[in-house]
């Protein structure tokens, strides 16, 4: 096999139709799976999102809800339960899910609630005339990234050849990425969300009005790379965190992810003319759903843990 950019390797490992992790082999998310999410641990996030949806629907007049990449359906199930049967009657619920495995799990869990599924966001937006309240949890981190590094003298790009890394001169356009605007003081590896950048600009023209809430782990630049000279890329297999050469060891059998650079994400949306509503830690956002009651609720709000590792960002298009 000839060498290929890391993003192409990651795309095949996660989304190949026959043997990609998300499309064919993802295990149940949770204690018996490869990783857990806030939504599978606690209903607190669902309650906070429900409160946000009610406020935004009142402010914008939009009554269609779209969740992108809803995992096994746990988060939407919590959201709908928190809304209650009466308030649910005023909303239309659409799900965007590219993974056949996860779509099946969502359909089983959301019987009687969400009745429409779409493979892409433009398809879902076309079904509601472009007006929707959009939310996602741990979506951005699942997009394939390109790897680059500064070796002290020049920028290089990481390619993959038979499970081994090969360095080539950087050929990626620098403008959209905060990490490339000036060389770091020391050798450093970065992940560039090139695929995410293209995806965003592919669907934004179809969104005519509403609000969008994005929740994911990461931070602004340069804090996201504090004490991480090898970057944030890692894999998860049976709840075990794998780094370095282990990322290449089980393509298609493990999740591959990295932290989100929210400096870039926020700038892309602002440049697209969207109005930023807030950017805050998950702990602060979860308080909108009420006080923590269970041990799991306290865990997802923990300062120094999930409560500060995850960021919540909202924008509005009117």
pTM: 0.93
pLDDT at 1 over 60: no
Asked if pLDDT for residue 141 goes beyond 60, the answer is yes
Which distant-in-sequence residues (6+ apart) come within 8 Å of 299 by Cβ? Answer: 41, 42, 305, 306
Examine residue 23 and say whether the peptide bond preceding it is cis (omega within 30 degrees of 0). Answer: no
Question: Directed axis angle between helix 194-203 and helix 6-15, to 10°?
Answer: 70
Q: Which of 113, 91, 93, 116 is nearest to 103 (CA)?
A: 116
Return the sign of the alpha-carbon dihedral for residues 205, 207, 212, 214.
Answer: negative
Please write the tens of the pLDDT for every residue from 169-178: 999 999 999 9
Worst-scoring range by mean pLDDT, 34-43, 47-56, 58-67, 124-133? Answer: 34-43
- How much is the pLDDT for 148? 98
Cβ-contact 134, 91 below 8 angstroms? no
Q: How confident is the model over 71-96, as a mean pLDDT?
A: 94
Q: What is the pLDDT of residues 187-231, one digit of tens each?
A: 999 999 999 999 999 999 999 999 999 999 999 999 999 999 999
The maximal CA–CA distance of the chain, rounded, in angstroms, is 62
Burial zone of 186 (CB within 10 Å; 0-12 exposed, 13-18 middle, 19+ buried) = exposed
**What's the confidence (pLDDT) of residue 26?**
72
More confident residue, 272 or 162: 272
Q: Is 50 helix (H, G, I), strand (E, B) or coil?
A: helix
Average pLDDT of the chain, as a whole number: 92
CA distance 315 to 280: 12
Question: Does 305 score more than 80 pLDDT?
Answer: no
Please choose, from the candidates 114, 105, 45, the residue with its C-alpha nearest in 3D space to the C-alpha of residue 71.
105
pLDDT at 80 > cutoff 70: yes
Please tell me the distance from the alpha carbon of residue 284 to that of residue 225, in angstroms, as a whole number: 23
Name the packing angle between helices 194-203 and 262-271 (round to 10°).
30
Buried b / exposed e along 223-255 (16+ C-beta atoms within 10 A): ebbeeeeebbbbbbbeeeebeeeebbeebbbbb
CB atoms within 10 A of CB 270: 12
Ordered by where they begin, the domains of the chain are: 4-145+195-317 (3.40.50.12710)
């Amino acid at each position: 096999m000839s060498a290929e950019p890391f993003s192409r390797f990651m795309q095949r490992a996660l989304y190949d139709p026959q043997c990609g992790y998300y499309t064919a082999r993802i295990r149940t998310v949770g204690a018996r799976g490869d990783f857990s999410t806030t939504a599978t641990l606690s209903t607190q996030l669902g309650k906070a999102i429900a409160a946000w949806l009610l406020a935004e629907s009142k402010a914008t007049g939009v009554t269609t809800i779209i969740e992108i990449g809803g995992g096994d359906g746990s988060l939407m199930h919590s959201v709908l339960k928190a809304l209650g049967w009466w308030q649910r009657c005023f909303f239309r619920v659409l799900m965007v899910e590219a993974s056949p495995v996860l779509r099946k799990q969502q359909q089983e869990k959301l019987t009687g609630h969400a009745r429409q599924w779409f493979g892409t966001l433009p398809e879902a937006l076309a079904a509601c005339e472009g007006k929707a309240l959009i939310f996602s949890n741990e979506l951005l981190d699942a997009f394939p990234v390109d790897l680059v590094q500064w070796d002290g003298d020049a920028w290089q790009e990481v390619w993959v050849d038979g499970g081994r890394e090969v360095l080539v001169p950087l050929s990626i356009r620098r403008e959209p990425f905060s990490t490339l605007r000036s060389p770091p003081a020391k050798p450093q590896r970065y992940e560039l969300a090139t695929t995410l950048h293209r995806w965003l600009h592919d669907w934004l023209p179809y969104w005519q009005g509403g609000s969008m809430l994005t929740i994911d782990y990461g931070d602004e630049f340069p804090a996201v790379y504090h004490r991480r000279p090898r970057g944030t890329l890692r894999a998860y297999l049976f709840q075990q965190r794998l780094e370095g050469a282990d990322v290449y060891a089980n393509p298609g059998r493990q999740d591959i992810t990295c932290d989100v650079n929210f400096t870039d994400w926020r700038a892309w949306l602002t440049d697209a003319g969207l109005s930023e509503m807030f950017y805050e830690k998950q702990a602060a956002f979860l308080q909108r759903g009420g006080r923590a009651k269970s041990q799991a609720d306290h865990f997802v709000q923990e300062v120094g843990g999930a409560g500060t590792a995850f960021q919540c960002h909202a924008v509005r298009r009117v």
